[in-house]
Structure 1
Amino acid sequence: MGTEPAQGNPLGLTKKGHSCVRLEKDGRVLVIDPGGFSEQEAALGADVLLVTHEHPDHFDELRLRAAMENNPECEIWTLRSVAEQISGAFPGRVHTVGDGDTFTAAGFEVEVHGELHAVIHPDIPRITNVGYVVDGLVFHPGDALTVPERPVETLLLPVHAPWNKYSEVLDFVRAVAPTQVYDIHDGLLNETGIGLFGRLLGDGGPGTGGAAHAWLAPGESVGLAR
């Protein structure tokens, strides 16, 4: 069972399945990447939906449609490759963004960072990918190891994927230099794998450069403070 976001903190974060997270503030809800590995209801209740790229573990059209139909005020911000697939169903409610853009949605301040998905293999064409900094507090990079040119308090770390390895993950944490790290992109890990990464990124590893590291179970919540 998850814990409630700490009282008085400006932003509550709930980990959902795989790479999906839910952010809450002042009764409004922002959900990032409710894809096919996340819960069926992961996007429901959202006022704002952010999608980093078109891969199905991050973008599931049925989950987005359900959220948009559930809340007629809900809107989506995403890159062009995703927007083109869903904008026709919700005219005026799907917005295209790219690297360097900033916008306000339902009271959340959002910055867009990055342009390309990480390399999976040279034989596989790269697609576009953007990451999002929300309220200057938390950064979700999608499927890339983009280092924003700004301080990051809380980093959502894609810990396991076909396109990364531990040395790259650790160097990414050190380069971003956050205060706190929470794992995402963990849907293919079993308990053994989760424990292994916990040790490697924790006290048993070579060091994150001072960032605290934690893994949240799906449904578990924390409060984020400046």
Structure 2
Amino acid sequence: MRITKFGHACVRIEHDGAVVVLDPGVFTEAEALDGATAVLITHEHADHVHPDLLRRSDAPIWTIEAVARLLREQAPDVAERVTVVRPGDRLDVSGLPVEVVGEKHAVIHPDYDRFDNSGYLLTVGADAVYHPGDALTAPGRAVDVLLSPVSAPWLKVSEAVDFVREVGAPRSLGIHDRVYSDIGLDMVASHMGNLLPEGQEFVRRQPGEDL
């Protein structure tokens, strides 16, 4: 298995010919889609879905109804490749088992309506890899690699730490990281190092770097 971090919330997973790209948005490098065999999108915000970027690939797309609706309005040519998923669905995505987890975005502010959001738990060979999107919804089973949000208007560092602790993955890769400066991201990594229990590792990667 190869896991590559791309800009902000986008991660690319390669295994046995499958190339699954999760959440390619406006902060994602175009090459993230090169050779993609499937795309998974957690929710409708532009930092997670970008129609022009999706046009770089003809790979099938799995996502929730809110994203499908957005693509039907803004990019009907892309929407033709969409399969709508629902919480609890179990999928076969390029030969990889995928479970759809959760249905709501984290609260940004109580005065805003809640957005829909579903994360994806992928079984990649012997490993389970979890991308929660913009939510702190634990998958309810063991995870080997957590793709962990670290900076957002809806997220405090203490919440990020507690989420990594709750999921309990041996390795957590920081994602959703465009909001903070390098100094802020160094602070997050320091807190993770100080507060995670033995047996849990938190790592940072630059866009294009592998885990």
Q: TM-score, normalization: structure 1?
A: 0.86
Q: What does 1:1-226 align with in structure 2 at a 5 Å threshold?
A: 11-68=1-58, 74-86=59-71, 88-90=76-78, 93-135=81-123, 137-202=128-193, 205-208=194-197, 210-222=199-211
Tell me whether 140-149 or 210-219 shows the greater mean CA deviation: 210-219
Partner SS state of residue 164, structure 2: helix
Q: Deviations over 1:132-177 (max 9, x none)?
A: 0111511000000001111111101000000010111111111111
Partner amino acid, structure 2, of 1:60? H
- Asked whether the equivalents of residues 71 and 79 of structure 2 are also in contact (C-alpha less than 8 Å), the reply is no
Alpha-carbon distance in 2 for matches of 1:14, 1:143:
19
1:105 Cα deviation after fit: 1.6
Alpha-carbon distance in 2 for matches of 1:159, 1:47:
28
Partner SS state of residue 138, structure 1: strand
Contiguous gaps of at least 5 residues in structure 1: 1-10, 69-73
Alpha-carbon distance in 1 for matches of 2:54, 2:78:
11
Q: TM-score, normalization: structure 2?
A: 0.92
Runs of 4+ residues over 6 Å off in structure 1: none
Alpha-carbon distance in 2 for matches of 1:126, 1:178:
28
Q: Pairwise CA RMSD of aligned residues? A: 1.5
Partner amino acid, structure 2, of 1:16? F
- Asked whether the equivalents of residues 10 and 21 of structure 2 are also in contact (C-alpha less than 8 Å), the reply is yes
Q: Which has the higher contact order (CA 8 A, sep 6+)?
A: 1
The aligned length equals 205
Higher helix share: 2
1:118 Cα deviation after fit: 0.1
1:91 Cα deviation after fit: 6.6
- Asked whether the equivalents of residues 54 and 78 of structure 2 are also in contact (C-alpha less than 8 Å), the reply is no
Alpha-carbon distance in 2 for matches of 1:108, 1:53:
21
Taking only the aligned residue pairs, the percentage that are identical comes to 45
Partner SS state of residue 24, structure 1: strand
Partner amino acid, structure 2, of 1:137? A
Distance 1:167 1:90, change over 3 A: closer
Alpha-carbon distance in 1 for matches of 2:17, 2:189:
32
Partner SS state of residue 57, structure 2: helix
Contiguous gaps of at least 5 residues in structure 2: none
